Structure 1
């Protein structure tokens, strides 16, 4: 049995009426670890344990680490997660709550990742948070579920950080015969490495992350995500932090589900100027989730962003 669950794929009456389109939501926030990350991470951890791994080592800004910690606990395998100093206290507590060992190292995910790589032992398996073909195949299962449930959307909207979710969704679209469905890739200003990479035709590394959407905080997307844009229609949308936070709070009011600003970026993109969305009658949104936000934190961010 996989570690992830099949999540709801439902119509948003509120968003559909507001936009005058049919808006469908894939509610990945309902995964046991709180985000879509469990699909790919669970697949990787299953495969690595089967290959003889005695410990999982991962680097994360939050959600991937929580997913690895959850998977390790479920599979009975010890876990070490390395997070940067920017990772919230809430995320650190949630990783520890799952029973994982936690190390805080470096100012950015890249520094935490370098340290995690340096401590991998002979019987350890490294679980990358976004750059692994096994991980992408796991994420692609959400499109399998959408295709089985139907109907086919005219566009899929998702948030992009390092590109793991994007690669998984694109793989899922391809294997379900939905190659003609364009993807709207949403990011926040200050964490928009993917939009810049696509514009330049090569991976671009940001000097730093200035967005509050820290779950989108990879300074550089994986190569595969950039390559996908050369063979699948991808429309890049960059929204403000304020728009992402406002979309998260509106989603909480409309659907009683709390998500991070990183997920809010995808929800905010629905109201952005996008030729793909303007032409679409039926839009699917990947509600990727995220467990590091609280209502109080979102409200505080909203007050500061005004």
Structure 2
């Protein structure tokens, strides 16, 4: 891993998705990171920069993936980790965090509640607070995936669009900064959310950052009630082309199931939101509306991964969403 905690993940061509799209679809397989998601890039980078050798430990609030990354990095750096998760997190997330050696506390109903407790603990117990999505060092770390995409595609090949799921906006900020660093500022970014966990889309509609009343989506890992200021700032930039789109929970779940069938990979519903851009025809619709060219270069989907899913959890989601 040469001085950092993440790995250079594969960029795989999906024949099934390419056939649906009528253009090549590449999958950036962040699900294959040691912690199960892209979060390890930013959190590993941040911890290396801010964590003193004599640290009392780290504390992180998380619906799952940021916590897994923080717990993994802390274990590798031999410091204690306390992860605060909301009650909406599946039991398997708690178990996986404990397997990484972390102390897990369940606080509140949604991530925002857990985050309040994490900040309190950092203050009271002198722990190093690891933010899950809203910090420049996180975005700097996440940007590395676009550098890898550029290397994998080779000189002279530029994506027609990059597709990301948006929760708090950390991945989006990292992708935008990555595009800037490789000279791809003009590449459109399709920012996907599920209805009921749509703080980014709501901010764009309101023309300012707003806080959702509640998270009603089953895509719990997209469950921040307020998007980061930086993500909103990017959405307003005249130099960037960020397209915000929503899908239903049912569409995200369908995408997870189709992806499992076609690619033999199980990801969580938060990741399903990005995959639904192809499986539910969102990109094709945007092309017909003239917001993306009909003749589109290769589409890169960030398969952000997810630690909060297994076959039992998938079965529970089916029961809830398909009645």
TMscore range, shorter length: over 0.9
1:67 aligned partner:
69
1:274 partner SS: helix
**Match of residue 113, structure 1, among 112, 115, 135:** 115
1:228 partner SS: helix
**Match of residue 284, structure 1, among 300, 305, 308:** 300
Q: Deviations over 1:256-277 (max 9, x none)?
A: 1110010000000122132445
Mapping for residues 22-37 of structure 1, pairs under 5 Å: 22-37=24-39
Q: Deviations over 1:87-139 (max 9, x none)?
A: 11111111111001111111121111111111115752110000000010000
The reply on whether 1:212 has 2:228 as its aligned counterpart is no
TM-score by length of 2: 0.91
2:51 partner SS: helix
Q: Deviations over 1:37-63 (max 9, x none)?
A: 111011111112247533111111111
Mapping for residues 1-306 of structure 1, pairs under 5 Å: 1-50=3-52, 53-120=55-122, 121=124, 123-150=126-153, 151-231=157-237, 232-270=240-278, 271-272=281-282, 273-275=285-287, 276-277=291-292, 279=294, 280-306=296-322
Q: Deviations over 1:5-60 (max 9, x none)?
A: 00001111110012211101100000010001111011111112247533111111
5+ unaligned residues in a row in structure 1: which ranges? none
How many residues of Structure 1 are paired with residues of Structure 2 in the alignment?
306
The CA RMSD measured in Å over matched residues stands at 1.4
5+ unaligned residues in a row in structure 2: which ranges? none
Q: CA deviation at 1:298?
A: 1.9
Q: Could you tell me how far apart the structure 1 residues matched to 2:312 and 2:260 are?
A: 12
TM-score by length of 1: 0.96
1:185 partner SS: strand
1:168 partner SS: helix
1:207 partner SS: coil
Q: Deviations over 1:55-95 (max 9, x none)?
A: 11111111111110001001111111111111111111111
